[in-house]
């Protein structure tokens, strides 16, 4: 478990580095729509939680002016899952996802090598790791795997 202040600093850093996109509603009254918070403004902003505030229990405050600038910050779920993956995933769940992905990217007509399949799975499947890939590779049908070359193609 991370300290709340450290978690906010981590979130602010990931927003500032543009690894996580954030939208919010500007408090100047110009609009009530969620719009992307410009990265230029992030240096002057800080998150504040004010549970009793009717306008913005969560908001981005200007450090220099001491006023609420943005309210109702929101983040894309996909960014959160990519930047903060779940800690303990069961091997069966991850290897099942990898096996489904292997069946999608490989075919009898166009097999790819094990090293290429491993590289793609570890980058394209969320929470993938080497042990889960090896388990999925062992379960993959031999006809989808590419032969090593000098011994000829695999038997069908």
pLDDT tens for 100-143 read: 999 898 877 777 888 889 999 998 998 888 888 999 999 988 87
Strand partners, 2: none
Residues 22 and 75 sit within 8 Å (Cβ to Cβ): yes
| Cβ atoms within 10 Å of 78's Cβ, excluding its own | 11
Structure tokens that stand for 10 in this block = 């981590």
CA–CA distance, 62 with 69 (Å, rounded to integer): 6
Q: Look at residue 152 in the predicted model and tell me its pLDDT.
A: 52
Q: Which of 36, 29, 39, 26 is nearest to 71 (CA)?
A: 26
Higher pLDDT, 60 or 8: 60
CA–CA distance, 51 with 79 (Å, rounded to integer): 26
Question: Where residue 93 falls among pLDDT bands split at 50, 70, 90?
Answer: confident
Length of the chain: 156
Residue 33 above 90 pLDDT?
A: yes
Residue 70 above 80 pLDDT?
A: yes
Q: Look at residue 155 in the predicted model and tell me its pLDDT.
A: 53
Q: What is the mean pLDDT of residues 1-9?
A: 75
Distance of CA 70 to the CA centre of its chain: 24
| Alpha helix positions (H), the chain | 4-16, 77-83, 91-105, 114-124, 130-139
């Amino acid at each position: 478990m991370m300290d709340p202040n450290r978690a906010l600093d981590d979130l602010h850093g990931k927003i500032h580095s543009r690894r996580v996109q954030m939208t919010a509603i500007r408090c100047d009254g110009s609009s009530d729509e969620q719009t992307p918070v410009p990265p230029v403004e992030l240096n002057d902003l800080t998150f504040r939680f004010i549970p009793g505030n009717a306008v913005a229990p969560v908001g981005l405050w200007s450090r220099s002016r001491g006023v609420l600038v943005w309210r109702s910050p929101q983040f894309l779920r996909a960014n959160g899952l990519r930047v903060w993956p779940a800690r303990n995933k069961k091997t069966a769940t991850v290897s099942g996802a990898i096996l489904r992905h292997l069946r999608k990217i490989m075919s009898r007509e166009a097999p790819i090598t094990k090293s290429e399949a491993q590289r793609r799975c570890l980058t394209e499947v969320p929470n993938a790791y080497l042990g889960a890939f090896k388990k999925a590779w062992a379960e993959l049908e031999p006809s989808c795997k590419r032969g090593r070359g000098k011994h000829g193609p695999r038997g069908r």
